[in-house]
């Protein structure tokens, strides 16, 4: 197994409902270490750039509106197989399809307000971490 870093966002539905601690408990209980974390209110250009890969999708405009509707918490998580481990902890994108015990099954409100984002590959994790964090902010 490999020690990896992945990127996480606790979305506006989490900060609105004051669930940051409960989500972080799920993350840490899964053996992931939160080695960087900050609370931000994304600008529209930041949200559009971060989700640029989805720019042609029908849900892109609503996604960017939601992601700028309140504060988010961006994080770097470290652990064995962190990318896959965190995606398993998050559960399916649509909470209706998520496995019991996952973050999205327990906390997500809808496919859009689905509480968390996690990188889908090691390569994208590196890109997404660089988008939000400088090296000196990541303390492993
Ligand atoms: P996330 O992992 O942040 O990546 C893109 C987001 O688009 C996804 O989580 C969902 O919250 C959001 N989204 C909204 N509608 C859809 C949809 N129909 N299919 C996939 N993702 C969607």
pLDDT at 128 over 80: yes
Residue 100: the pLDDT is 98
Residue 1: the pLDDT is 73
Ligand 1 centroid from CA 101, angstroms? 20
Q: Does the reported pTM lie above 0.95?
A: yes
- Using one digit for the tens of pLDDT, what is the confidence trace for 109-122? 999 999 999 999 99
Ligand 1 contacts CB of residue 117 (under 6 A):
yes
Residue 13 tokens, joined = 């539905």
Ligand 1 centroid from CA 136, angstroms? 30
In terms of Cβ atoms closer than 10 Å to its own Cβ (0-12, 13-18, 19+), residue 23 is: buried
- Using one digit for the tens of pLDDT, what is the confidence trace for 20-76? 999 999 999 999 999 999 999 999 999 999 999 999 999 999 999 999 999 999 999
In terms of Cβ atoms closer than 10 Å to its own Cβ (0-12, 13-18, 19+), residue 52 is: exposed
Nearest CA residue ID for atom 10, ligand 1: 112
Ligand 1 centroid from CA 2, angstroms? 28
Ligand 1 contacts CB of residue 59 (under 6 A):
yes
Distances (CA, A) of 40 to 46, 68, 92, 117, 135: 11, 10, 25, 15, 18
Residue 97: pLDDT band by 50, 70, 90 thresholds?
Answer: very high
Ligand 1 contacts CB of residue 112 (under 6 A):
yes
Q: Is 134 helix (H, G, I), strand (E, B) or coil?
A: coil
Q: What is the mean pLDDT of residues 88-117?
A: 98
pLDDT at 140 over 80: yes
User: How far apart, in Å, do the first and last CA atoms of the chain sit?
Assistant: 18
Give the distance from CA 104 to its chain's centroid.
11
| Biggest alpha carbon–alpha carbon distance for the chain | 39
Residue 107: pLDDT band by 50, 70, 90 thresholds?
Answer: very high
Which residues form the catalytic set?
Answer: 117
Ligand 1 contacts CB of residue 63 (under 6 A):
yes
Closest CA to 103 of 16, 11, 40, 41: 11
What's the mean per-residue pLDDT of the chain? 98
């Amino acid at each position: 197994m490999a020690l990896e870093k992945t990127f996480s966002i606790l979305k506006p539905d989490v900060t609105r409902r004051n669930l940051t601690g409960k989500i972080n408990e799920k993350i840490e209980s899964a053996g992931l270490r939160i080695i960087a974390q900050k609370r931000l209110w994304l600008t529209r250009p930041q949200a559009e750039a971060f989700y640029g890969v989805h720019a042609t999708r029908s849900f892109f405009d609503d996604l960017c509106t939601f992601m700028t509707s309140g504060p988010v918490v961006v994080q770097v998580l470290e652990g064995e197989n962190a990318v896959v481990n965190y995606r398993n902890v998050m559960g399916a994108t649509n909470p209706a399809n998520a496995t019991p015990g996952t973050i999205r099954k327990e906390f997500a409100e809808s496919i859009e307000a689905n509480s968390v984002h996690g990188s889908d590959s090691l390569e994208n994790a590196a890109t997404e971490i660089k988008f939000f964090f400088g090296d000196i902010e990541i303390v492993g």
